[in-house]
Amino acid sequence: MSDINEAMIFAAGFGKRMYPLSTKVPKPLLKVNGKPIIFYIIENLINLNFKNIVINTHHLSDKFHDELKPYSNTIKIVFEEEILDTGGGFLNAIKRNYFYNIKSPKVLINGDVLWKKTVNSPIKNILRNWNEETMDLLLCLIKKKYFFGYKGEGDFNLEEPQKLISRLKLEQHKDFVFSGLQIVKPKLLQKKNKKKFSMREIFFSNIKKKIYGINDKNEWYHISEPDDLKNVNDNIKI
């Protein structure tokens, strides 16, 4: 398995679709089965021997400092005075030296994603299938039917969807959803002059290069609105 041991969790957003719940509690700290969503992610990373987990914050940042004290030996909390989006947040953390090795690949993951606990977690799967020589970026993708509560149109297709790993493909009909989990080489952001930008800009500007998707078979949960949170808590055992 890959020796990647640094990660970043994106947790700076306002979570507007989760209002009014997220006006007092940041979305990643909302609880599923009695535990904040972000705890599941942090614990999964720690169990996979990650030594440095960077978390960007903005909205209700003080709540993260209070809640994440049990993980203080492993995490670093970055406060952003303004929301920089995922790409801008990652680049900001690189420039401010929050990572031990700024050149090595990093696991990036949204702080509000959730999946059913299995032996082979999505993070473990993506690490196992990362290839340092042939890849610059690997996205964890889910077939729409495996994404509990998802109502969107999808994000990508794969050139060879029957395979575990394949190059990304853009077309009108999209069978796969980007989970919010990825491995990326920081060099892809070197030429970015903008302060605020999404990692999706990196995906699309490099789509014909060494960017791949992994077809993850875990069951994921789309928690966007208060009803989604209630449905997961009422019906799912994580």
pLDDT tens digits for 196-226? 999 999 988 887 788 999 999 898 998 999 9
164 touches 214 (CB < 8 A): yes
Asked if 103 and 94 touch (Cβ cutoff 8 Å), the reply is no
Return all residues near 235 (Cβ < 8 A) that are at least 6 apart.
none
Domains of the chain: 6-235 (3.90.550.10)
pLDDT of residue 171: 67
Which region among 43-57, 89-103, 142-156, 175-189 has the lowest average model confidence (pLDDT)? 142-156
Total count of residues recorded for the chain: 238
167 forms bridges with which residues in the sheet? 212
End-to-end, the C-alpha distance of the chain in Å comes to: 25
Please say whether the beta carbons of 16 and 22 come within 8 A: yes
Quote the radius of gyration of the chain (alpha carbons, Å): 17
User: In the chain, pLDDT over 90 holds for what percent of residues?
Assistant: 72
pLDDT band at 235 (very low <50, low <70, confident <90, very high): confident
> What confidence score (pLDDT) does residue 119 get?
66
**1: pLDDT confidence band, cut at 50, 70 and 90?**
low
- Angstrom distance (rounded) from CA 129 to CA 122: 11
Q: Is the pLDDT of residue 23 over 80?
A: yes
Q: In the structure, what pLDDT confidence band is assigned to residue 35 with cuts at 50, 70 and 90?
A: very high
